[in-house]
Homo-oligomer: A and B are copies of this chain.
């Protein structure tokens, strides 16, 4: 509370105390040449004594750069925005960049409002985090600063987007199932209006085709929820009694599937192997057995997007949609099949 209402200490105060001009203070504090060692020392001591912090507003006004980026999200609450946000904040943390967080909550008006606000604050760049991997309207047109899209790509091919490789992630999962000896593989996933669901189904199709195998039944599209996982399990266990593996489009679906499969007396993973998606640890590390899951590496994606934004601020653009690889986190739910009860 001390000094709450007192005027902030400026470079002039430091100059007075040190008995030099403000120019010298500036040079001394910024490590510039042409300042005698003992003068610099005096200045440093004065600055320390007054706990002087240069006014970034003034500096930024002068340089025209705010050393700030805007992070525009439609769904900060979502599980996907946050890791991206963290990765970005991470990448910035090293330098002197700051992140301004704006949540548009899916409202175009609010988004416009935030963009105007950020521009008037002269942010150096913008990261737009989608709430799904579905393409979203571009905002880059006529903006005076570079924009990078993360998770959900822009619908304009000239923009820069970073998205997880859902097709590749699904292929990883199926490949792992095949490698551990599974042959009758089903796929349960989310709604068809999610590009993520479509892409993952395509990955399954592609990898199975490559192995010359048929998929066990059509892909079951539903919701991303545990409930749908349970429901799908009922259907699948009935329709495909010789099923030996299920690849689920989300960890929640997988958790639901496993719950019902256990109840129906299937041994996991001995009878049926299960793979989830997202590697959402609160779930995948709590299921029984522990859930093998595709990790979309979102934090790294956010980090990369932020680094790319830096490059773009420096004028180096690499337009297009960049897909980032996923990794498979192997846990107990895909141990090789066998008669032992695990």
Identify the A interface with B (CB < 8 A).
1-6, 8, 51, 53-58, 60-61, 64, 66, 68, 71, 76-77, 82-83, 85-86, 89-90, 93, 96, 98-103, 110, 116-122, 140-142, 144-146, 158, 225-227, 252, 256, 259, 282, 286, 315
A83: B residues at CB distance < 8 A: 77
Instruction: Count the copies.
Output: 2
A141: B residues at CB distance < 8 A: 2
- Whole-angstrom distance from the CB of A231 to the nearest CB of chain B? 12
Verify A117–B89 contact, CB threshold 8 A. no
When C-beta atoms are compared, the residue in chain B nearest to A64 turns out to be B8
A2, A57, A122, A226: residue with the most chain B Cβ atoms closer than 10 Å: A57
In Å, the complex CA distance between A282 and B78 comes to 11
A227: B residues at CB distance < 8 A: 286
Verify A103–B122 contact, CB threshold 8 A. no
In Å, the complex CA distance between A103 and B76 comes to 15
Known: A64-B8, A82-B76, A101-B99. A122 touches B57 (CB 8 A): yes
Verify A3–B56 contact, CB threshold 8 A. no
A252: B residues at CB distance < 8 A: 282, 286
Verify B61–A61 contact, CB threshold 8 A. yes
When C-beta atoms are compared, the residue in chain B nearest to A85 turns out to be B76
Verify A120–B89 contact, CB threshold 8 A. no
Verify A140–B86 contact, CB threshold 8 A. no
- Whole-angstrom distance from the CB of A324 to the nearest CB of chain B? 19
- Whole-angstrom distance from the CB of A290 to the nearest CB of chain B? 10
Q: Which of B2, B6, B101, B122 contacts A89 (CB 8 A)?
A: B101
- Whole-angstrom distance from the CB of A239 to the nearest CB of chain B? 23
In Å, the complex CA distance between A286 and B77 comes to 18
When C-beta atoms are compared, the residue in chain B nearest to A226 turns out to be B286
Known: A102-B89, A146-B4. A53 touches B286 (CB 8 A): no
- Whole-angstrom distance from the CB of A25 to the nearest CB of chain B? 15
- Whole-angstrom distance from the CB of A287 to the nearest CB of chain B? 9
26 contacts between A and B (CB under 8 A): A2-B141, A2-B142, A3-B142, A4-B144, A4-B146, A8-B144, A53-B120, A54-B120, A55-B61, A56-B120, A56-B121, A57-B66, A57-B121, A61-B61, A76-B82, A77-B86, A86-B103, A89-B102, A93-B110, A99-B100, A100-B100, A101-B101, A225-B286, A252-B286, A256-B286, A259-B259
